[in-house]
Structure 1
């Protein structure tokens, strides 16, 4: 991953897929890649963006494969969220009735950690990602994040949670309103993708969603997510 481009075997390992499957995907134009010196080459940022946009279509098994292919050294592999999520970054009364206001409020919640050195740059990066495609899901959850890791403006990777009293338009499929928001800010691509995949798996559970909508405090939200994180295989 230190070079500018990855080869076919490296991308296959990164995505948790076999080489032949990845080769067919790039030949069909499904996966972004290019021929250099007669061999397929892939830019890490382009692959990351492709994976992000495909997350909503992945089932639990596919998300688990993606997660296991990352293995960020920044995370506790038994409970990846434990490193990034804290009770002070969980807000049950997010003061927002519009998408821009929700993003602004989430960055402010994340800023309680004092790990964001340039809040304006973070907010701008999150807005730019939303302009590409909404991070809202049909189940009322949105997982806003920058398109690229932000090592230059973050002291450490982190997650912030926010809940609004009613759903707001966030661009989710079928115009579903969003009321649960999880902001993911990562310093590197492996942490970025592993956490997105982990959250995707956790938030497919109706029980967890019900708990997030009814928890009486930020500390309860934090504990609910960490308990679920520790239980998942």
Structure 2
């Protein structure tokens, strides 16, 4: 949380007036410390990526950082899996049951992951409207995950995730990534494919895995590599 309003404006290529407007609207993650707004670079990049739907915001990496191939939504979902009838009547209860269903390696702590997800929801809801939420840790590097995973969870009953549109959430797309670059990439591409009517229909109807993956492949095929 070491960025000022001016730093945030430069990072997002907007005016300071826009930054203050988004803070007032409650959409931009910000912290007020000693009367001044401060920002986390990771959270700003994550927010910007989700807003730009399909465009990957440039992430500055050290020169010696090895750039591994970025995962597709389909491959991440194949790794994470699809689960039905996730139980719970509150946001915390469904997150707990969802984490219990995750396909995690032994080096990923489920308890820590759940705490990270709770902390992210306390900062700002991950609900994106129309009954969908994308829970994820604020800092993916803390999990030591070895590969990207998206886990699709259909809830047993709609739950209030405090979405901006007031709708209860019925679908979770839980994102786990090995690094920030992959994390932003997946959230960005999710923002795009969730606009695809055919793919959204499979989620609304809680279709079987075969239909979901087929619709996802078509939707993701419309994205530039």
TM-score over 0.5 for the alignment?
yes
1:100 equivalenced with 2:92 (yes/no): yes
> Residue 180 of structure 1: which of 171, 181, 186 is its match?
171
What aligned pairs does 1:149-160 form with structure 2 within 5 A after superposition? 149-150=140-141, 152-160=143-151
Q: 5+ residue gaps in structure 1?
A: 33-42
Q: Which residue of 1 aligns with 2:81?
A: 89
SS in 2 for 1:93: strand
CA distance in 2, matches of 1:26, 1:187: 35
CA distance change for structure 1 residues 75 and 230 in 2, over 3 Å: closer, same or farther? farther
Q: Which residue of 2 aligns with 1:69?
A: 58
Q: 5+ residue gaps in structure 2?
A: 23-27, 30-37, 61-65
Displacement of 1:55 in angstroms is 5.7
Higher helix fraction (1 or 2): 1
TM-score, normalization by structure 1: 0.70
CA distance in 2, matches of 1:28, 1:232: 29
> Residue 44 of structure 2: which of 25, 30, 50 is its match?
50
TM-score, normalization by structure 2: 0.72
> Residue 109 of structure 1: which of 88, 98, 101 is its match?
101
CA distance change for structure 1 residues 168 and 215 in 2, over 3 Å: closer, same or farther? closer
CA distance in 1, matches of 2:150, 2:67: 17
Q: Which residue of 2 aligns with 1:130?
A: 121
- The CA RMSD over aligned residues, in Å, is 3.5
Displacement of 1:107 in angstroms is 1.6
Counting matched residue pairs gives 201
CA distance in 2, matches of 1:115, 1:81: 23
CA distance in 2, matches of 1:99, 1:201: 25
1:190 equivalenced with 2:184 (yes/no): no
CA distance in 2, matches of 1:150, 1:28: 27
> Could you tell me whether the CA contact under 8 Å between 1:144 and 1:182 is conserved in 2?
yes
CA distance in 2, matches of 1:179, 1:147: 22
**Between 168-177 and 223-232, the greater mean CA deviation after superposition:** 223-232
